[in-house]
C-alpha cells in the first residue's frame, strides 16, 4: 500500500472538510493513502454524493404514477407506457466544463446523458437541451453559444439521435457561468431492462470502449466549486468525446442486455472507474477486485490515482455472466469494441484495486456512495433580504406607454422571444423519421416505433420568476411544462429535473433551493407527475454573483391516438380563435418588465395548481375529441407574442388573425402579461359549441376572440401589422444578433 495521507492541506485541496477526513479515517481504521483519498474526494463531492441536497430531494414525490423504479435507483427514470414498453429519460448538467471549453463540454454532456439511457437497456429516440447564456451583446457569450451548439449538434448528429426540442434563454446572471442541461429519452422492452449492479460472485468485470487517459481527472470536484478567473487553467478537467465510439457502445450495450449476457452495466461518467465500481458493488452488497495493469491506457506512466479518477469518455463497466463469457466477447467483437477483462466480483463488500500484485486501494464500497456512507448535510437556510423588498413593489406602477405597436415590435425582437431556428436548424431533428412535431412548438412529439403511440417531450423554466419567488416559480415551471405537454394532446406522465443553483453553503442560496423543492413537490403531487430523478448542479456562480435559481423541468407525456396530436400554429383560415384562461396585470419577472423597466421587481404571476390540473384535463378532452386545429400556451411575452407565433409558427404557410381581447386592462398590461394557465386555440366554427361545453364542465374560462385570416396580425385597435414584417423579425433576428458581422 502507498504511504498514508496526513497532510490536511492536501485534504482541503481535494475538496474535503477536515471532519470528513476524520470520518474516512474511522471507516478505514487508518489514514487513507493518496489514491484512496482521491476516491473519497470524488465520490463525496457534491456532484456525485448530493451531500448538500439529498435530504431535500427525498421530500419530492419519487414514486407512484407509472414509475417502474423509484427515483435514484437506476441511471435514469423508467415510466411504463403499456404494450410491454417503458420510457427511460433523464436530464443532467455540464455547466462548468462548457464554460471553459464549450464545444467539448456540451458534446460530452450529450454523450454522458445518452449513456445513462442505453445502460438501462433503452434505445435513445430523441434528445433535448436547455441552454442559458449571458447577454448576446457580449462577444464571449456569443462564442460560448456557438461552441455549445456546435458540440451538441456534432455529437448528436454523428450518433444518429434527433435533437427535437429544448430552450435557449439569455440573462446577465449567466455571464461567465452558462447553463448547459442535456436531456435524453429512450424506449426499452421491459423484459430487457438493465441495472447498474455487480451481482454474481466470481462474475468477470469488463471495461469496454475507449482507452483511459488523463482527461477529466477530478471533473466531479471541478463541478463542485465556483468558476473563477483561474478556471480556464482547468481545461484538463474537461473530457473529450468520440461519438463514433459511442454509437458502437450503444449497439453493443443493447445487444448485451437484450441477449441477457450480463448482470450489470454502468457508464463511467463522473469519477470514472471509481464511481462505477463502488456504486455497482454497493448496490449489490458485493465487492470487486480490479487490476489496473489490465486497464487499456492511452498515456504512459499513469498512476493508480489517475486511472481510477479519469473521466475519459465512452467507457462502460460491465459485469458479465461467467457462463456467458464467450457470447459476451462475440458481441464486443461484432461491434469492434475495444475491451479488457480487468477483474472479478467478490463477496467481501470491498473494492480492492491492484497493480499486478501490489494493492493500491482497499475501501468498503458502501462507505463511498450516496445512500451509504457518503455524508448528508442539512445546510443553514435564510430568507434573503431582497425577497420581501421585491415582493412589495407594484410592477405595474409606471406610466402607460404611448406607442403600443412599436413597443410590441421591440418585445417581439427580444432574443428571449424570437425563434430559436438559428440554433435548432444546426441539429438533425428528423433523423429516424419519427419526429412529428418539430422544434419550435410548445413541445416536440415523436413516434414510438413500432407502436401507434407518441411521446411529447419538453424542457421548461422561467428563472426570473424563481428569483422573485422560488416556490411560486417552481410551481410555475412544472405547470408550464405540463401545459406544453397537454396542448399537444398528450397526458403528462412524469418529470426529470436539473436543479441549477449557486453555493449551497450560502444560507440565502440554500433557502432558494429548499423553496424550489417545496414548490416543485406541490405541483408534481397535484398533477401526479412524479420526479424520476435528475441532477443537482450547485456552485453556478462567478465571484460577482450567482445565477438565478434555475430548476429546469424535463417532462414527458403520452399520446395514444395520432389524430389527437395538435400543433401550436393556425392551420385553416376561417377557424375561430378561442382563449382559455384569464389575463391579469402580471408582468413581474416577464420579458416586458425586463425590456422596458430593466429590473426585476414584484410578485411573479400566480399559479393556481387546481386550475392548472383542470386545464390539463380540458385540453386532453378537446384534443381527444379532435376538436382543435391548434393550441398554444401563452408564455414569454404574453398573448400578443402567442398570437404572433400561432400566425407564423409554420413559416411555409403563415396565416393571420383578427381578434378582440375581452379584458379591461391597460393595453401594454393586456398584451404582455404572462399570466399563467392561458391558452390560445383555434377550431372550426362547428366545434366551438362542444368546446364551450367542455370548458364549462372543467370550470375553464373560455372566450371566442376572433378568427384566423389570410392577412396580418390584428389585435383590436392596438396592433395591425403585416405577416412578412413579423416573420422576418421572428425568424431571422437571433442570427443577426449572434453574428452582427454578417
Residue 35 in contact with residue 44, Cβ under 8 Å?
Answer: no
Query: Which residue of the set 94, 96, 218, 429 is catalytic?
Result: 94
- Percent of the chain exceeding pLDDT 90 equals 86
Residue of 119, 379, 429, 138 whose CA lies nearest to 246: 119
Phi then psi for residue 264, to 5 deg, are -170, 155
Q: What is the pLDDT of residues 150-199, one digit of tens each?
A: 999 999 989 999 999 999 999 999 998 999 999 999 999 999 999 999 99
Query: Which residue of the set 14, 47, 218, 548 is catalytic?
Result: 47
Residue 680 in contact with residue 642, Cβ under 8 Å?
Answer: yes
- The stretch 607-623 carries a mean pLDDT of 98
CA distance 457 to 51: 30
Phi then psi for residue 99, to 5 deg, are -70, -30
Q: What is the pLDDT of residues 23-48, one digit of tens each?
A: 999 999 999 999 999 999 999 999 89
Q: What is the pLDDT of residues 301-348, one digit of tens each?
A: 999 999 999 999 999 999 999 999 999 999 999 999 999 999 999 999
Domains of the chain: 195-375 (3.90.650.10), 388-426+566-742 (3.90.650.10)
Residue of 287, 266, 329, 261 whose CA lies nearest to 201: 287
CA distance 484 to 481: 5
- The alpha carbon torsion through 605, 607, 608, 610 (nearest 10 deg) reads 160
**Is residue 429 predicted with pLDDT exceeding 90?**
no
- From residue 655, alpha-carbon distances to 179, 416, 627, 647, 648 in Å are 35, 23, 19, 5, 7
Least trusted range by pLDDT, from 110-124, 432-446, 450-464, 699-713: 432-446
- From residue 488, alpha-carbon distances to 28, 226, 435, 634, 648 in Å are 55, 39, 13, 14, 18
- The stretch 518-537 carries a mean pLDDT of 96
CA distance 30 to 10: 17
CA distance 171 to 718: 29
Which residues neighbour 26 within 8 Å (Cβ) at sequence distance 6 or greater?
none
**Is residue 233 predicted with pLDDT exceeding 70?**
no
- Using the CB atoms, write b or e for 554-579: b if 16+ within 10 Å: bbbbbbbeeebbbbbbbbeeebbbbb
Q: What is the pLDDT of residues 260-301, one digit of tens each?
A: 999 999 998 778 999 999 999 999 999 999 999 999 999 999
Q: What is the pLDDT of residues 660-713, one digit of tens each?
A: 999 999 999 999 999 999 999 999 999 999 999 999 999 999 999 999 999 999
Strand order in the sheet with 630-633: 630-633, 679-683, 576-580, 702-709, 656-659, 713-715, 719-721
Query: Packing angle between helix 102-118 and helix 243-258, nearest 10 degrees?
Result: 10
For residue 7, what pLDDT is reported? 87
**Is residue 227 predicted with pLDDT exceeding 80?**
no
Q: What is the pLDDT of residues 79-138, one digit of tens each?
A: 999 999 999 999 999 999 999 999 999 999 999 999 999 999 999 999 999 999 999 999
Please indicate whether residue 218 is annotated as part of the active site: no
Residue 713 in contact with residue 720, Cβ under 8 Å?
Answer: yes
- The stretch 714-736 carries a mean pLDDT of 97
- Give the pLDDT band of residue 4 (cuts 50, 70, 90): confident
Q: What is the DSSP letter of 367?
A: G
Residue of 249, 246, 283 whose CA lies nearest to 264: 283
For residue 575, what pLDDT is reported? 98
For residue 232, what pLDDT is reported? 46
For residue 742, what pLDDT is reported? 62
CA distance 401 to 571: 34
- The stretch 478-493 carries a mean pLDDT of 98
Helices and strands (H, E) in the chain, number of each type: 25, 25
For residue 195, what pLDDT is reported? 93
Residue 459 in contact with residue 447, Cβ under 8 Å?
Answer: no
Pairing of strands 702-709, 576-580: antiparallel
Please indicate whether residue 260 is annotated as part of the active site: no
Q: What is the pLDDT of residues 349-379, one digit of tens each?
A: 999 999 999 999 999 999 999 989 999 999 9
CA distance 168 to 129: 8
Could you tell me which residues are beta bridge partners of residue 343?
205, 290
Amino acid at each position: 500500500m502507498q504511504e498514508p495521507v496526513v497532510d490536511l492541506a492536501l485534504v482541503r485541496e481535494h475538496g474535503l472538510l477536515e471532519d470528513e477526513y476524520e470520518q474516512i479515517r474511522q471507516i478505514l481504521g487508518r489514514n487513507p493513502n493518496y489514491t484512496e483519498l482521491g476516491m473519497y474526494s470524488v465520490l463525496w463531492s457534491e456532484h456525485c454524493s448530493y451531500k448538500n441536497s439529498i435530504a431535500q430531494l427525498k421530500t419530492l414525490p419519487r414514486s407512484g404514477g407509472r414509475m417502474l423504479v423509484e427515483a435514484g435507483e437506476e441511471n435514469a427514470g423508467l415510466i411504463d407506457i403499456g404494450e410491454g414498453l417503458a420510457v427511460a429519460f433523464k436530464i443532467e448538467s455540464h455547466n462548468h466544463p462548457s464554460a471553459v471549453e464549450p464545444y467539448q463540454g456540451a458534446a460530452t454532456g450529450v454523450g454522458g446523458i445518452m449513456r445513462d439511457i442505453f445502460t438501462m437497456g433503452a434505445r435513445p429516440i430523441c434528445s433535448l437541451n436547455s441552454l442559458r447564456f449571458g447577454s448576446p451583446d457580449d462577444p464571449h457569450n456569443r462564442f460560448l453559444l456557438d461552441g455549445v451548439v456546435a458540440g451538441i449538434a456534432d455529437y448528436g448528429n454523428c450518433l444518429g439521435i434527433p435533437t427535437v426540442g429544448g430552450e435557449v434563454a439569455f440573462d446577465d446572471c449567466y455571464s461567465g457561468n452558462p447553463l448547459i442541461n442535456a436531456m435524453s429519452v429512450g424506449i426499452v422492452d421491459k423484459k430487457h431492462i438493465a441495472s447498474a449492479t455487480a451481482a454474481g460472485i466470481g462474475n468477470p468485470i469488463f471495461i469496454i470502449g475507449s482507452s483511459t487517459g488523463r482527461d477529466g481527472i477530478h471533473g466531479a470536484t471541478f463541478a463542485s466549486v465556483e468558476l473563477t478567473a483561474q478556471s480556464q487553467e482547468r481545461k484538463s478537467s474537461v473530457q473529450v468525446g468520440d461519438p463514433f465510439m459511442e454509437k458502437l457502445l450503444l449497439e453493443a450495450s443493447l445487444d448485451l442486455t437484450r441477449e441477457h449476457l450480463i448482470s450489470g452495466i454502468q457508464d463511467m461518467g463522473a469519477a470514472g472507474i471509481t464511481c462505477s465500481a463502488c456504486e455497482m458493488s454497493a448496490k449489490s452488497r458485493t465487492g470487486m477486485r480490479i487490476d489496473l495493469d489490465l486497464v487499456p491506457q492511452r498515456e504512459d506512466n499513469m498512476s493508480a490515482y489517475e486511472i481510477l479518477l479519469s473521466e475519459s469518455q465512452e467507457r462502460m463497466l460491465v459485469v458479465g455472466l461467467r457462463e456467458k463469457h464467450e457470447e459476451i466477447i462475440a458481441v464486443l467483437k461484432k461491434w469492434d469494441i475495444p475491451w479488457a477483462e480487468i477483474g472479478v466480483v467478490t463477496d467481501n463488500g470491498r473494492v480492492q484495486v491492484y497493480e499486478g500484485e501490489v494493492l493500491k486501494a482497499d475501501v468498503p464500497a458502501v462507505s463511498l456512495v450516496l445512500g451509504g456512507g457518503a455524508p448528508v448535510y442539512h445546510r443553514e437556510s435564510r430568507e434573503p433580504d431582497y425577497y420581501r423588498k421585491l415582493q412589495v413593489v407594484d410592477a405595474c406602477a409606471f406610466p402607460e406607454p404611448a406607442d403600443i405597436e412599436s413597443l410590441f415590435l421591440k418585445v417581439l425582437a427580444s432574443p428571449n422571444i424570437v425563434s430559436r431556428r438559428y440554433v435548432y436548424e444546426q441539429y438533425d431533428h428528423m433523423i429516424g423519421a419519427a419526429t412529428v412535431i418539430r422544434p419550435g412548438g410548445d413541445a416536440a412529439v415523436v413516434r414510438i416505433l413500432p407502436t401507434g403511440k407518441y411521446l411529447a417531450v419538453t424542457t421548461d423554466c422561467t428563472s426570473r420568476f424563481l428569483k422573485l419567488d422560488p416556490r411560486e416559480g417552481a410551481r410555475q415551471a412544472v405547470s408550464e411544462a405540463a401545459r406544453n405537454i397537454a396542448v399537444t394532446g398528450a397526458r403528462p406522465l412524469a418529470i426529470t429535473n436539473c436543479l441549477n443553483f449557486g453555493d449551497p453553503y450560502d444560507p440565502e442560496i440554500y433557502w432558494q433551493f429548499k423553496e424550489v423543492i417545496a414548490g416543485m413537490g406541490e405541483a408534481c403531487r397535484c398533477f401526479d407527475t412524479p420526479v424520476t430523478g435528475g441532477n443537482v448542479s450547485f456552485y453556478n456562480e462567478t465571484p460577482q454573483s450567482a445565477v438565478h435559481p434555475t430548476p429546469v423541468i424535463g417532462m414527458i407525456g403520452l399520446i395514444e391516438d395520432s389524430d389527437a396530436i395538435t400543433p401550436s400554429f393556425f392551420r385553416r383560415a376561417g377557424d375561430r380563435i378561442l382563449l382559455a384562461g384569464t389575463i391579469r396585470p402580471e408582468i413581474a419577472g416577464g420579458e416586458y418588465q425586463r425590456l422596458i423597466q430593466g429590473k426585476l421587481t414584484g410578485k411573479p404571476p400566480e399559479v393556481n395548481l387546481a386550475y392548472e390540473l383542470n386545464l390539463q384535463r380540458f385540453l386532453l378532452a378537446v384534443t381527444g375529441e379532435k376538436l382543435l386545429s391548434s393550441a398554444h400556451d401563452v408564455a414569454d411575452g404574453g398573448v400578443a407574442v402567442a398570437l404572433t407565433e400561432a400566425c407564423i409558427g409554420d413559416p411555409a404557410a403563415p396565416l393571420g388573425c383578427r381578434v378582440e381581447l375581452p379584458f379591461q386592462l391597460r393595453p401594454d398590461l393586456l398584451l404582455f402579461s404572462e399570466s399563467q394557465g392561458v391558452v390560445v386555440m383555434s377550431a372550426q366554427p362547428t366545434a366551438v359549441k362542444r368546446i364551450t361545453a367542455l370548458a364549462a364542465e372543467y370550470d375553464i374560462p373560455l372566450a371566442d376572440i376572433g378568427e384566423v385570416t389570410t392577412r396580418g396580425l390584428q389585435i383590436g385597435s392596438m396592433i395591425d401589422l403585416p405577416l412578412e414584417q413579423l416573420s422576418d423579425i421572428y425568424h431571422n433576428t437571433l442570427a443577426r444578433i449572434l453574428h452582427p458581422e454578417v
